Chains A and B, each alone.
Chain A
Amino acid sequence: MIARQWEASRSLEWLLIAVTSAMVIFHVAGWIAAAGIFWQEQVTLHVPRIQSAIVIGLALLVLRATSAPRRHRRFVVLCALVVAAVSFVTVPLPRQFDSPADPGESLMPSGSDAGRSRGQFEDRFRVDRGDVLFHSHLADVAINALDSAFGRTETSPARAYDTLSTLAGLLFLLELGIAAAWHRWSRQVCRYVGLAMATPLCLLFFGYWDLGYLSIAVGVVPLLALARGRMPVPAHAAALVAGFLQGLHTAFHGFGLLSLASGALAALSKPGDALRRVLRAATFTSAGVALYLGWMFFYVTLGRFSLIWERELGHRPFFESIAFENKLATPLFSQAGFGEFGLFSALSGVPLLALALLSARRATLIPAALYALPGLFFVVRWWPTSAPFNLDLLLSIFPGVFAACWVVACSRRTSMGALLLLSGLHVLLWTTVGNGVFARMEIPR
């Protein structure tokens, strides 16, 4: 009986690895198609800007320090976190890309409109009029409170966006610090801190004016790793805190639902018997949902707000082009559509999962594969209407990148390889925005 159960579980694990590998191969084909389009269009390479240099440099310092004794690496990691926090404020992202070919290209088009015009800001954030948009309800309330604190002037929306980005950056670093301390500054968690800081997503904390990236909870993956530990009470506490963190981020932006699904699936993985695994997943999910939707009670009872849903998620068609918000969505099975999918997949960090699949043991891959699967499927179907400039969503649609970071952080060699790969993704990101690759074309009315 036990032997049969073990066989079934082993077969399931192999099936999961096979499905994940097949999906990654599909993504690799997309990267090749994207490279072909880059070649055809003679895209010029752009050097990553200073913000990329800072996060990659700090990651390199942290990775170098992981060979040191525990107290020394704790010191270096804490210093790196502090330097990152200071640079989030002192080295803001440029609003426009300084390309000689197109000096006016905005890096954050929708945020720039709302941040520069009081009228557009009030059209987007209607908390004062009693309406909260459901897809980013907590971020709407937070940015409105910041705008109010800054006096509701012509310049206060810009200050509110900047402050929200800095606060999100501090939360990102705090989560990394908590995860590292909870793991007692182990070598793996210190490498994870370095790699997470080097992800292109970290650039958005340098003052990006939009909300989508608030959905990412960087502390969830290492906390879920603790939740799979042998001691029941600390494991339960870790699952609960991971769920709360993910719920909070999902309240900031609905794209966090992807990470919530990813975390719930990863919580189901071994070790432990079936009951323990289901309880772990239920703990994570219920904590997540509580902090995602619990705010509604306060909105309705204290704020007298109405919740509004007015989002239409763009989806990529398979064979025929269709129009979304007056823009043409190219089908997946066309050269342009497949290349575009490949580029977005690469930018979101799927190459790191490919590295993890190639370099890690099967046992460590199972939770990472479960965590990555929802994002892998979502990237295929998602069609962003203002790509490639809506970096907040492009860089946060694949939360599996953090699960991959955790897996490759097992060894110094794979961590260094991952850092090199992440540096390449920074070059790809700046090249994409600098050339406006796959920029959307308006359909004439």
Chain B
Amino acid sequence: MDDDGSMVAISRFLFIGPVVIVLAWFLAGQWGLAGPETRAWLQFASVVCLASLLPLPGAPQSLSELSARVQWLGWVVVAGLVATT
């Protein structure tokens, strides 16, 4: 794989990775077993993600900006999930 191809693969992994991890966590039925801290973390993270990604009137954001934000927030959510479980 050339340099450009590997960069694209890394970028896709960074973008999709957290979504896959969180989805797998839910599908494995971990929400039912989670303690109050994990639940609180996921509630907190989902509200902040929503507030951070929601499109606002008059404040356009570019796709690259949105993608960078999703990557960054996604990995923070995963890190918090690991820390609280």
- A residues bordering B, Cβ < 8 Å? 46-50, 52-54, 56-58, 60-61, 64-65, 67-69, 71-73, 75-76, 98-100
Contact = CB atoms under 8 A, between A and B. Distances in A.
B41 interface: yes
A21 to B, nearest CB: 33
B32 interface: no
B49 to A, nearest CB: 9
Contacts of B50: 57
A82 to B, nearest CB: 15
B44 interface: yes
B48 interface: yes
Interface in B48-70: 48, 50-52, 54, 56-59
Contacts of A60: 48, 51-52
Given A60-B51, A100-B36, A47 B56 contact: no
Contacts of A48: 40, 44
Nearest to B44: A53
Given A60-B51, A98-B36, A52 B44 contact: yes
Contacts of B48: 53, 56-57, 60
Nearest to A94: B36
Interface residues of B, number: 20
Contacts of B41: 47
Nearest to B36: A98
A57 B56 contact: no
Contacts of A67: 59
Contacts of B59: 64-65, 67-68, 72
B33 to A, nearest CB: 14
A61 B40 contact: no
B84 interface: yes
Interface of B: 35-37, 40-41, 43-44, 46-48, 50-52, 54, 56-59, 80, 84
Nearest to A98: B36
A64 B56 contact: yes
20 contacts: A46-B37, A47-B80, A50-B40, A50-B44, A53-B48, A54-B47, A57-B47, A61-B51, A61-B54, A61-B56, A64-B51, A64-B52, A65-B56, A65-B58, A68-B58, A71-B58, A75-B57, A76-B56, A76-B57, A100-B35
Contacts of A57: 47-48, 50-51
B58 A47 contact: no
A50 B57 contact: no
A53 B51 CA distance: 10
A100 B34 CA distance: 12
Contacts of B43: 49-50, 53
Given A100-B35, A100-B36, A50 B47 contact: yes
A46 B40 CA distance: 9
Given A60-B48, A61-B51, 4 more contacts: A48-B40, A64-B56, A67-B59, A100-B36
B44 A72 contact: no
A390 B60 CA distance: 43
A47 B44 contact: yes
B58 A72 contact: yes
Contacts of A99: 36
B58 A73 contact: yes
Contacts of B84: 47
A50 B37 CA distance: 11
A304 to B, nearest CB: 50
Contacts of B47: 50, 53-54, 56-57
Contact of A72 (B36, B54, B57, B80): B57
A47 B37 contact: yes
A238 B29 CA distance: 56
A71 B59 CA distance: 12
